[in-house]
A and B are shown apart, each in its own frame.
Chain A
């Protein structure tokens, strides 16, 4: 297990290195964003770029970049969006909004999703199951900005229950802030709920028909006991890892939802960095997304082994 963990982590580092390198070189191949001559910072930006190694061979530039990152944790300064500010600091500042919105959303939706999945599985092939399954399918198919639109139009505009956009400011734990986050939280939750409902239902229906359930009933357990102690625990083997994956995923957020509800988060930063264009910011964001994605997949894989000792990840034949 430990060996597997080390192996995976090392492999992840290699992958991150290659991806960052590729993106870095591709970005540096582009002409740098033009600086208007009447920009008061023009000279500083030019000097900074010189120091970052523009006009040198690409691999040398990458070397300089790596050296800065590894020795000083210096990811560069923002070029266009927030001129002269450290991109890592900026990303760090944008994190709370994204994390909070996503965290609220998964805290609400994971229990709901699992409960709906359980209900659907227990009432398999009844109208309850059909309704839940159909709704799940619909929600998974429809792109998230469609429900964001419905929520914004119906709840915020027609009924006036919530503000249109998220409140500005950094008082992340105040009631007004929470209230203004709710539409975004709801829009994010639909997809998560549907995902968990589907996985739970699929797993649980399979477990419920397996032989050890029959054995449990034969031993004299009631249906409730058998379901909770045997079926449910086995079904969690699949569900729990995806919960962990989701918790890692809260940091990357959703580009679309952040744009619609103007959440000052990581996703918005990313879109702005493309439109500006602000390449140091873009590289920082790319790195961030890559790390989050890979870390989530590792956590999911490893947690299988922790939850169910029968599963030996990475074991040979």
Chain B
């Protein structure tokens, strides 16, 4: 590079750059970004939190939609009164959706496993299918051959492990119905062609067995071992005693109850379809079809049923709605109380701070479980279960929020902008909520996102323990569902699994989401605490 020395530059070579131009600030080329927009951008960078936010959204939508689409309710309206919906037969049944079950994919087929079933037992299961057309036998999972001594000789006995469709497995039930009901079922049968009532089997014809309505064939012994003819087929043992369908009225006339609806295929025409007993009639019904008669549709439980026969899919939705709304209400109230309390503490300081601090000290010493119990005992009858539950959460719940706000106020109250506002004559209230509070809002809102899972978690714990009883509300909660599921854990693990999965997913996502928010609003703590 030459180090040129310019000495005699002529004056005309100079010209003014901006002699006649007006100088303006250039308009900003980039978009201006506020505090919240900035936080949003940081939040979006955190992939796991974004995923968590979507999962939360999905679970919320699930809880809104599932009770609407499932076709089931967790309570029934009977004569203007709400009654908890119960089904005494389809309880603790695994997930089952008929049209998926038909495809034989191994899912949603209501499968339960039965171990060490002898051949006679397997035949008995299959016999249910032969009669109703709903074969409970799904598949054979395994078999073992054992040597057993039978009448002094050793012989091989095969035991099977099989999977059955629990919905079909119920097969037949004896139900005692009124004559009018009997007629209605027949009308239903004629209309739809679905056979509900099956021929009656008299106990005398099947070795006196009274407690097994699924036996429609001749048996060898009182244990119900099927009798097979020379071709290996079962022999029907349906009652042909027409007297069963008659009764004597008060004038001592014999009245016959008519059955003129569907008859089973092999019926030669003389099978009896009921047994009249003192003014009502006992019939043998196929429960799967009876269910259709009562409800108008086939059973279809996406998550199965719980120990009360409620649809878990619906119940989880209803319970989750309760948990979410409850948590949001509690957090919002806690936020308000905590913010005001903490603001007063932090802003005024001195002896007010000291006094208020003692109060929150004492409150924080009371174990939460004790608060919840006392409120339940005292207020539940006066103001209802849920309000008293909310009070219990509020009594000590705002303490954390207050401490946080207090800290923020101490941080901001000495700063210049507050001083400036004060000099201009702003009132205390205005200073607190127009100047200091908005500055600490980010931190406070973020901690609120972490409070929600905490509330949900302790609410679930309390309802699980049964300290809070929501039955009166005709609602349910994930905790209630879990404790119902726990009682039947071995026979119906799904009743525990689905609520547990739901609550775990919800809480994990809320925590991830909350952590993401916290990091986004407060970059200085990023990576320190997670």
Q: Footprint of B on A, CB under 8 Å?
A: 11, 15-16, 18-19, 22-23, 26-27, 29-30, 133, 137-138, 140-143, 145-146, 149-150, 152-153, 157, 198, 202, 205-206, 255-256, 259-260, 270-271, 274-275, 277, 282, 286, 289-290, 293-294
Smallest CB-CB A-B distances: 7 pairs: A289-B367, A141-B507, A141-B508, A141-B511, A142-B504, A146-B500, A15-B365
Q: Does B465 contact A271, Cβ atoms closer than 8 Å?
A: yes
Decide yes or no whether B529 CB sits under 8 A from chain A: yes
A27 touches B503 (CB 8 A): no
CB closest residue in chain B, given A136:
B530
Task: Flag whether B142 is at the interface (Cβ < 8 A).
Answer: no
Cross-chain contact B374 with A27 (CB below 8 angstroms): yes
For this complex, 24 residue pairs linking A to B, each with C-beta atoms less than 8 Å apart, are A11-B361, A15-B365, A19-B362, A19-B366, A23-B374, A137-B511, A137-B512, A138-B504, A140-B511, A141-B510, A142-B503, A143-B460, A146-B500, A146-B504, A150-B500, A157-B490, A255-B461, A256-B461, A270-B369, A274-B373, A274-B467, A289-B367, A289-B370, A290-B366
List chain B residues, Cβ under 8 A from A277.
Answer: 377
**Chain B neighbourhood of A142, CB < 8 A:** 503-504, 507-508
A29 and B377 alpha carbons, distance in the complex (Å): 10
The answer to whether A30 and B377 have CB atoms under 8 Å apart is: yes
Report whether A19 and B378 are in contact in the complex, using a CB–CB cutoff of 8 Å.
no
**Interface members, chain B 479-525 (any A CB < 8 Å):** 482, 486, 489-490, 493, 496, 500, 503-504, 507-508, 510-512, 515
**In the complex the two chains form, is B503's CB within 8 Å of A146's CB?**
yes
**Contact check: which of A29, A141, A153 meets B453 at CB < 8 Å?**
A141
Q: Which residue of chain A has the shortest Cβ distance to B504 in the bound complex?
A: A142
Tell me whether B377 and A15 are in contact (CB under 8 A).
Answer: no
B457 interface residue per 8 A CB criterion: yes
CB distance from A148 to the nearest CB of B (A): 9
Min C-beta distance of B99 to chain A, whole Å = 30
Q: Is the CB of A149 within 8 A of B529?
A: no
Q: Is the CB of B489 within 8 A of A149?
A: yes
Q: Which chain B residues in 171-197 approach chain A with CB under 8 Å? A: none
> Residue B464 at the A interface, CB < 8 A?
yes
**Bound-state Cα–Cα, A75 to B36, Å:** 56
Given contacts A26-B378, A149-B489, contact A255 B496 (CB under 8 A): no
Cα separation A153 to B530 with both chains bound (whole Å): 31
Mask, B350-378, CB within 8 Å of A = 1, is: 00000000000110011101100110011
State the Cβ distance, B307 to closest chain A Cβ, in Å: 15
A16-B367 in contact (CB<8A): no
Which of B17-59 touch A at CB < 8 Å?
none
Are A293 and B507 interface neighbours, CB within 8 A? no
Q: Could you say which residues of chain B place their CB within 8 Å of the CB of A30?
A: 377-378
Q: Using a CB-CB cutoff of 8 Å, which residues 365-422 of chain B contact chain A?
A: 365-367, 369-370, 373-374, 377-378
Q: Which residues of B contact A18 (CB under 8 A)?
A: 362
Residues from chain B with a CB closer than 8 A to the CB of A259 are: 465
The CA of A293 and the CA of B528, in the complex, are separated in Å by 28
B466 proximal to A (CB < 8 A): yes
Closest to A18 in B: B362
A18 to B490, CA, bound (A): 46
* Nearest residue, chain B, Cβ from A142: B504
- Size of the B side of the interface (Cβ < 8 Å), in residues, is 38
Selected from A26, A137, A153, A289, the residue in CB contact (under 8 A) with B508 is: A137
Show the binding face of B for A, using Cβ within 8 Å: 361-362, 365-367, 369-370, 373-374, 377-378, 453, 457, 460-461, 464-467, 482, 486, 489-490, 493, 496, 500, 503-504, 507-508, 510-512, 515, 527-530
Residues of B contacting A294 in the complex (Cβ-Cβ under 8 angstroms):
365
Q: Is the CB of B503 within 8 A of A149?
A: no
The contact of A290 among B365, B486, B500, B504, by CB within 8 Å, is B365
Which of B370, B378, B512, B528 is A286 in contact with, Cβ under 8 Å? B370
Residues of A within 8 Å of B362, CB to CB, are: 15, 18-19
Most buried by B among A18, A145, A157: A145
Q: Cβ of B467 and Cβ of A271 under 8 Å apart?
A: yes
Q: Are B457 and A202 interface neighbours, CB within 8 A? A: no
A18, B365: Cα distance in complex, Å? 10
- Point out the residues of chain B lying under 8 angstroms from A29, CB to CB: 378
B377 proximity list for chain A (CB < 8 A): 26-27, 30, 277
In the complex, what distance in Å separates the CA atom of A256 from the CA atom of B463? 11
B365→A16 contact, CB < 8 A: yes
B residues within 8 A CB of A138? 504, 508
Is B465 a contact of A256 with CB atoms below 8 Å?
A: yes
Residues of A within 8 A of B367 (CB): 286, 289-290, 293
Considering only CB atoms, which chain B residue lies closest to A125 in the complex?
Answer: B527
Among B370, B466, B486, B530, max chain A CB count under 10 A is at B370
A130: min CB distance to chain B, Å = 10
Given contacts A18-B362, A137-B515, 19 further A-B contacts (CB under 8 A): A15-B362, A15-B365, A23-B366, A137-B508, A137-B511, A138-B504, A141-B504, A141-B507, A141-B511, A143-B460, A145-B461, A145-B486, A149-B482, A149-B500, A157-B490, A206-B528, A255-B369, A290-B367, A293-B367
Q: Shortest beta-carbon distance, B383 to chain A, in Å? A: 15
CB A164 to nearest CB in B, in angstroms, measures 9
Evaluate contact between A149 and B369: CB separation under 8 angstroms.
no
Instruction: Find the A residue at minimum CB distance from B499.
Output: A146
**B366 — which chain A residues lie within 8 A by C-beta?**
19, 22-23, 290
Q: Is the CB of A145 within 8 A of B482?
A: yes
Contacts of B512 in A (CB 8 A): 137
Measured CB to CB, the nearest residue on chain A to B457 is A143
**What chain A residues lie within 8 Å of B515 (beta carbons)?**
137
Smallest beta-carbon distance A184→chain B, Å: 14
- Which B residues lie within 8 Å of A293 (CB)? 365, 367
Select A26's contact among B374, B460, B511, B527, beta carbons within 8 Å. Answer: B374
With A202-B529, A256-B461, A290-B367 as given contacts, are A149 and B378 in contact (CB-CB < 8 Å)?
no
